[in-house]
Amino acid sequence: MRKPYAQHFESPGFLNSRPPSSGRDGAKAPRRSRPAGGGDGSRGEFVGRRTEMQQILTALTAARSGRGGAVFVTGEPGIGKTRLAVEALDAAAEAGMTTARGRAGTVGSVVPYRPLVEALLSLSRAGLLPDSEELGPYGPVLAHLLPGSRAPGAATVSHLMVAEAVLRVLTVAGRRHGCLLVLDDLHDADTETLAALEYVLDNLAEQPAVLLLIAGREPCVATELAARARQRGAASTLELRPLGRPDVHALVVAEWGSGPGEVTAELVDRVAADSAGVPLVVEELLHDLARPVHDGSLRPSVPAAVARSVRHRTERLGPRARGILGIAALLGQRFPLPVLQHATGCDDRELLRFLHAGVASYLLQPDESSPEWYVFRPRFAAQVLREDLGPTERTAYARRAANTLIGLHPGLPGEWCVHAAELFGHAGDVHEAVPLYCEAGRRAMAEGAMERAVALLTRAHRATDAGLAPDLRATVLELLLQSVSRAARFDAVPGLTAGLEALGDHDVPAARRAGLYAQLADVTVSAGLPADALRHLDVARRLLGTSPTGAHTAPVDLAAARVELSRPAPDRLRTAAEHARRAADAAQQAALPDVLGRALLMLGQLAPEQDAEAAAAHFARAGAIADRNQLPDLRVSAEVHLARIAMRRDGRPARLEEAQQQALRIGVLPLAYETGCVLALDEVRRGEFEAAGHRIHDGLADATRLRLRPVVSLLRLTEAVRYAHQGQRAEMREALDRLAPCVDDAPGVRPASYGLARAFCSLLEENHDAAEQEFAQALVYDRENPGVGEFGVSGMHGVMLLRGVLAGRVGRQHHADVTRAAGGTRWNRQFVGLAHAVLLGREGRAAEATVAATAALDAAALYPVARNLCLRLVARSAYEDGWGEPVDWVRAAEEYLHTAGIAAVAGACRSLLRGMGASVRQRRTGTENVPPDLRRYGVTVREFEVARLLAERIGNKDIAYWLHISPRTVEKHVASLLRKTGHPDRAAFAAAARGLVAERAHHLRSEVAVKARERYTWSLSQ
């Protein structure tokens, strides 16, 4: 419940001098009904005005002590002036002050002293108006003011007499507990009222009353009165500023009745930007957003109350200003003064006068970021003014402004091109607007602003039904298809398909239409619609005819390569490479740099795994073409693929993460999110499961929203691999179930789901037979539909090779083949290197085997789960053939795998240790308390308990008493500790172990002291 503002008064005197609840002089004035006026008067939550309210409360406190004063409250329409007055009336009424309120009106004929009369009548209705006897000679003046009076006196009275009468009313009404008089909308007040108020302000200081005077900031008599009163010290001014974002957030929460956490940051940002912090606009926007739509129609884009306010302020400026504002609104939300001046024909003086009036009316404000630019405020003002223009006015104003822009800025550099296109669009001249939108879209793509390019070219496409030339319609579609593909705006595909089909009815060359259908096929492939893509590609091939030129075949061949990659077929990689090679050759001959660069990217991706140098050469060449021809999306794509090669080679993701961020910045979204899948897979292999989970979750949300179906499939696969690398089969199965409906959206996912997920999980469960079958199934699926890159079968070759070598099925020749094919990646080097070590050991070359194993384990350092799995796999062979450090390896692996919760492999490691005759640490409650350095030696929980006491130089008998075991058992534990740690005696062990148990030393000494006293007491009793 809202707290009354009287509870926030800081003055103790104000709080402690509450009047009685009855009696004429001490009666609490009844609360008035609340005005129903948007942000100014509606009774929603009152936020963001604590400082301003405190200033008013201070004035009220002073009035109760007989020190009167006045406060002018100003600000733009809707800023909350009237609402602040209502809260002040509430606070005064809560404290027992007499309150009265009046307002100047604009409807009907002018009534002299209307605000004052309305306030006097409110006192009269409440029974608080002083009697004529109490006012002395000014009683008749008061009676003359009130309607229906029959008091004798002159027909007219001077404003000084009226002012003195009002002053005496305030004095009498507030003589016990003070009085608050609120006069609203004084910018519309008659001159008699303002003249009387000037006198009251000058004589209010010694009276128990406060005047709260509400007026706008537009130049008028009321603002002049406020300025003079402030200069004389007769009043203070309180200008209400727009709400900041925190206050807008609080207002959104209050209006919607939800908790702060339920209001999204996007909603608050939108409301704050659209409202410019004006409470009335905030409330109207929220009401508009919350209003249900039952008839399927669009909600009004501008809140009605805001539109009325803008129109009212515009009308007050006059018809000439309205025309100038209309031209400015056609220039956009922000507009340049030179263009406006040339378009309107204003001289400097007239333009300056207009600007001052617009700023004073809160319709305009200078753009602080750009000299000679102004912006409309609120943001809806320009839209309201545009909508109010008649067709003739709109056409004439817009064409005049567009021609002015072309004359002032030849070539329309930068944003001028978009401004001119919008102006011609407002004028209905699409033949001028569409080419300008196309040029602006080209520039946006050249700058890497793909989303902006889509927006601009979409405007051009919407205007193509107005009888444009077929060649221009085709140009719009070409540019829009390019931008849509790179920005992943697949929601536009149906409209593009319809527009392309409509070109068949016009005189557009068949070869050019073929290129458009090839582009459409490329877009639909990225959207995960291979059947649609194949259909569009068939149309493109039919349109090419029998003897096409290279310039026309290159885009079609490039699209064919993409379509080949999307279809499940054993030869898809070979045929895709053939199409890409033909596209590259034709594009080079026809001087088509964009097509050539993208064909080179395709060839690089399809290069054999063992030929990383050839792939890198293709990508580097594509990057050079991009640099020469200013193709930022091609440049970023080349850098992403080069970074992926580098990460596969050295395992370092920093360069790839930077390239992905650059792709996101310029809007090459399909590639950026596909790269996110690669980074997530790398995090899984590194054991960074939490980070991978966050990346997968965020990526799925974005890819689903953008309809990137192939990316969704890869992320679902990565999610399954994440669970597999933690040995969590149930969770992995659930992830694979989620993958099943979209497994065909990304060819190559099915074999990876067996080799990268199921088989690896089986290895972590020590189910080697199942892993063997799953690897074999992965190879079968890969032959049917081979994959490429990080999610291809090449990522499984290393572990399959190691298992084959350990099982004796694979020898030197196969090892050499796999090394050439897949040994260049750091992930595979760990498996390939250890397989080489096993083969060397079997050949009796133990020293060389140890060196090979050391190098392989160095490569495996980035991948802890795989590394420790490898240690478990090769340990027996290393032990039997006498190379490496198998016991230490298995102990380290057991420690990691046990901590990671991979119980099956950890148990296998303990069995290996027993088979090697090595000590096996016990896994019982308290193991986690044993310091890692001691766990590495195989120290058990009970031995650690003995070690703690040894470190404190306690003898065997006391250790036995402490631990409730026999002295003989203590001797065995001490001997085991010395043997495991390699110390010669108890003293050496105690000196070394003291640091390992230092964190427990203080508590241990206290416990030892207690036990010693108990031991001493027990010995005495015996």
31 vs 621, which has greater pLDDT?
621
The whole-number pLDDT of residue 257 equals: 65
Cα–Cα dist 633/447, whole Å: 9
Q: How many CB atoms lie within 10 A of CB 1009?
A: 10
Residue 32, pLDDT above cutoff 50: no
Cα–Cα dist 206/100, whole Å: 19
The whole-number pLDDT of residue 881 equals: 94
Residue 4, pLDDT above cutoff 70: no
Give the lowest-confidence range in 4-8, 350-354, 637-641. Answer: 4-8
* Burial of 462 (C-beta count, 10 Å sphere; 0-12/13-18/19+): middle
Closest CA to 282 of 45, 517, 613: 45
Q: Which two tokens stand for residue 127?
A: 């029974």
The whole-number pLDDT of residue 878 equals: 95
Residue 36, pLDDT above cutoff 90: no
Q: By three-state DSSP, how is residue 70 classified? A: strand
Q: By three-state DSSP, how is residue 268 classified? A: helix
Closest CA to 463 of 441, 494, 435: 435
**What residues have CB less than 8 Å from 252, skipping those under 6 apart?**
263, 267, 268, 271, 282, 286
Q: For strand 69-74 and strand 209-214, is the pairing parallel, antiparallel, or unpaired?
A: parallel
- The residue-averaged pLDDT of 407-414 equals 90
Model confidence at 220, pLDDT cuts 50, 70, 90, reads confident
Residue 7, pLDDT above cutoff 70: no
Q: Where are the domains of the chain?
A: 52-239, 245-290, 938-1021
499 vs 454, which has greater pLDDT?
454
Residue 564, pLDDT above cutoff 80: yes
Give the lowest-confidence range in 11-20, 270-279, 407-416, 438-447. Answer: 11-20
Model confidence at 3, pLDDT cuts 50, 70, 90, reads very low
107 vs 239, which has greater pLDDT?
239
Q: What is the dihedral of CA 45, 49, 52, 53, to 10 degrees?
A: 30
- The residue-averaged pLDDT of 116-137 equals 85
- pTM value is 0.66
The whole-number pLDDT of residue 956 equals: 83
- The residue-averaged pLDDT of 92-117 equals 85
The whole-number pLDDT of residue 370 equals: 84
The whole-number pLDDT of residue 301 equals: 67
Check residue 148 and give left, alpha or beta (phi > 0: left; psi -120 to 50: alpha): left
Task: Please give the full DSSP string across 989-1008, using - where no structure is assigned.
Answer: HHHHHTTTTGGGHHHHHHHH
Cα–Cα dist 546/73, whole Å: 81
Give the lowest-confidence range in 181-195, 760-774, 898-912, 982-996. Answer: 982-996
Closest CA to 733 of 758, 709, 714: 758
- Residues 649-701: pLDDT tens digits? 999 999 999 999 999 998 888 999 999 999 999 999 999 999 999 999 999 99
Q: How many CB atoms lie within 10 A of CB 506?
A: 13
Give the lowest-confidence range in 65-74, 155-164, 822-831. Answer: 155-164
Give the lowest-confidence range in 138-152, 596-610, 694-708, 763-777. Answer: 138-152
Q: Which CATH number fits domain 938-1021: 3.40.50.170, 3.40.50.970, 1.10.10.10, 2.40.50.140?
A: 1.10.10.10
- Residues 575-594: pLDDT tens digits? 999 999 999 999 999 999 99
Closest CA to 834 of 882, 790, 799, 795: 799
The whole-number pLDDT of residue 306 equals: 82
The whole-number pLDDT of residue 29 equals: 34
Residue 933, pLDDT above cutoff 80: no
Q: What is the mean pLDDT of the chain?
A: 84
**What residues have CB less than 8 Å from 847, skipping those under 6 apart?**
883
Model confidence at 623, pLDDT cuts 50, 70, 90, reads very high
The whole-number pLDDT of residue 923 equals: 67
The whole-number pLDDT of residue 681 equals: 95
The whole-number pLDDT of residue 112 equals: 86
- The residue-averaged pLDDT of 953-962 equals 80
Give the Å distances, CA to CA, from 356 to 331, 360, 367: 19, 6, 14
Residue 371, pLDDT above cutoff 50: yes
Q: To the nearest whole percent, how much of the chain has pLDDT over 90?
A: 36
Residue 176, pLDDT above cutoff 70: yes
Q: Which two tokens stand for residue 613?
A: 């140098």
Residue 749, pLDDT above cutoff 60: yes
The whole-number pLDDT of residue 310 equals: 87
- Residues 291-343: pLDDT tens digits? 554 443 434 467 787 888 888 888 888 888 888 898 899 888 888 888 888 88
Q: Which two tokens stand for residue 606?
A: 């399809």
Buried b or exposed e, range 338-371, using 16+ CB within 10 angstroms: ebbbbbbebeeeebeebbebbbbbbbbeeeeeee
Give the Å distances, CA to CA, from 702 to 695, 779, 945: 11, 32, 53
Q: By three-state DSSP, how is residue 72 classified? A: strand
Model confidence at 106, pLDDT cuts 50, 70, 90, reads low
The whole-number pLDDT of residue 10 equals: 36
Widest distance between CA atoms in the chain: 133
Residue 148, pLDDT above cutoff 90: no
- Residues 488-529: pLDDT tens digits? 888 887 888 888 887 765 678 888 888 899 989 988 888 888
Name residue 296's amino acid: G
Q: By three-state DSSP, how is residue 237 classified? A: strand
The architecture of the domain spanning 52-239 is 3-Layer(aba) Sandwich (3.40)
Cα–Cα dist 157/168, whole Å: 16
- Residues 834-865: pLDDT tens digits? 999 999 999 999 999 999 999 999 999 999 99
Cis peptide before 378 (omega within 30 of 0): yes
Q: What are phi and psi of 131, to 5 degrees?
A: -70, 160
The whole-number pLDDT of residue 693 equals: 95
Closest CA to 678 of 694, 662, 660, 664: 660
- Residues 754-779: pLDDT tens digits? 999 999 999 999 999 999 999 999 99
* Burial of 406 (C-beta count, 10 Å sphere; 0-12/13-18/19+): middle
Q: How many CB atoms lie within 10 A of CB 503?
A: 18
Q: What is the DSSP letter of 138?
A: G
Helix or strand (DSSP H, E) at 479: helix 470-487
**What residues have CB less than 8 Å from 30, skipping those under 6 apart?**
93, 126
Helix 826-842 with 864-881: angle, nearest 10 deg? 10
Q: What is the DSSP letter of 410?
A: T
The whole-number pLDDT of residue 1 equals: 35
The whole-number pLDDT of residue 40 equals: 42
Q: What is the DSSP letter of 740?
A: G
